[in-house]
Amino acid sequence: MSEVISNQISEDNSPQNTKNPQLSWMIVFLFSVSFLGLFTILPLRKIMIIDYRLTFPSGTAAAHLINSFHSPKGAKLAKKQGRALGKFFTFSFLWGLFQWFFTATYSCGFSSFPTFGLKAYDNTFYFDFSASYVGIGMLCSYSITISMLVGAILSWGFMWQLINNQKGDWYSADYPSSSHEGRF
């Protein structure tokens, strides 16, 4: 964290805990991470794909997709998928623009609609009418979508209530529910 952020925290901070991000340091860091990834992936590709003949899922999927474009049936399907993508992009953009006009603050408008009642809304359990969530739900399999929904209901509907009832015992009662500090 930077020194500005560390000064806002009341804990004792040492220079070992802080790093002021400067442009020169960030450029060197990003280049080193990028080239480290590049030089690491080449030997891994040789070992895993060429030597062990393991199928690489993303590469195999990309190859099937590229090969499907080079057939008459695949070209028609690609045009149809491109038109559908354009329609849904336009709808998502217009819906986001509509939401932007009708949102005054962070917890206002369609981004936090109190579908389950005001008591649930006070505990940050609400419905978000975001088109990106619909797209993610369409891309993911049913098992992933259902497990994420059940996990959200369990964590926000039940576990958060149990944790909130322990206010003063497990953590200080002075902290708001949005605090991430874990001190007593």
Residue 156 belongs to what domain range? 102-174
Concatenating the DSSP letter of every residue in the chain gives: --HHHHHHS-S---GGG-----HHHHHHHHHHHHHHHHHHHHHHHIIIIIIS----HHHHHHHHHHHHHTSHHHHHHHHHHHHHHHHHHHHHHHHHHHHHHT--STT-GGGGB-TT-HHHHHTT--B---HHHHHHHHHS-HHHHHHHHHHHIIIIIIIHHHHHHTBTTTB-TTS-TT------
Residue 159 included in any domain: yes
Residue 82 lies in a domain: no
Does residue 4 lie in a domain region? no
Say how many domains are in the chain: 1
- Predicted confidence at residue 34, as pLDDT, reads 85
* 184 residues of the chain, pLDDT tens digit each: 777 877 787 666 777 778 888 889 889 988 888 888 778 877 777 777 777 776 665 666 667 667 766 777 777 877 887 888 788 889 888 988 888 887 777 667 777 778 888 887 877 777 777 777 777 777 777 888 888 889 888 887 788 888 888 888 877 788 776 676 655 4
Classify residue 113: in a domain, yes or no.
yes
Whether 125 maps to a domain, the answer reads yes
pTM above 0.75, yes or no: no
Given a contact cutoff of 8 angstroms between Cβ atoms, the answer to whether 130 and 113 are in contact is no
64 falls within a domain: no
The predicted pLDDT at position 184 comes to 46
Query: What is the reported pLDDT for 140?
Result: 75
